[in-house]
Amino acid sequence: MKLSFELNGKPATLEIEQRESLAEVLRGRCRLTGVKISCEAQVCGSCTVLVDGLPVSACTLLAYEVRGKRVTTIEGLAEESGRLHPLQQAFLDHFSFQCGYCTPGMILAAKALLDDNSVATDAEIVAHMNGNLCRCTGYLPILKAIRQAANEMRDEK
> What does the pLDDT average to over 127-156?
90
Q: Is the pLDDT of residue 157 over 80?
A: no
Give the pLDDT of residue 40. 84
Give the pLDDT of residue 43. 82
Q: Higher-confidence residue: 98 or 151?
A: 151
Give the pLDDT of residue 41. 84
CATH superfamily of 2-76: Beta-grasp domain (3.10.20.30)
Give the pLDDT of residue 136. 83
Q: Which residues pair with 50 in a beta bridge?
A: 55, 72
Give the pLDDT of residue 18. 95
Alpha carbons 133 and 138: distance in angstroms, whole number:
9
Give the pLDDT of residue 137. 75
Average the pLDDT over each of 42-46, 104-108, 115-119, 136-140 and give the range with the smallest value: 136-140
State which CATH number among 3.30.390.10, 3.20.10.10, 1.10.150.120, 1.20.1630.10 fits the domain covering 86-156.
Answer: 1.10.150.120
Could you state, in order of their start, the residue ranges of all structural domains in the chain? 2-76, 86-156
Q: Show the DSSP H helices in 53-139 as ranges.
A: 86-93, 103-116, 122-128
Strands (E), 16-145: 48-51, 54-57, 70-72
Q: Which residues pair with 11 in a beta bridge?
A: 6
DSSP 26: I
**Residues 27-53: pLDDT tens digits?**
999 999 999 998 888 889 999 999 999
Give the pLDDT of residue 134. 87
Give the pLDDT of residue 154. 87
> What does the pLDDT average to over 100-108?
93
> What does the pLDDT average to over 130-135?
88
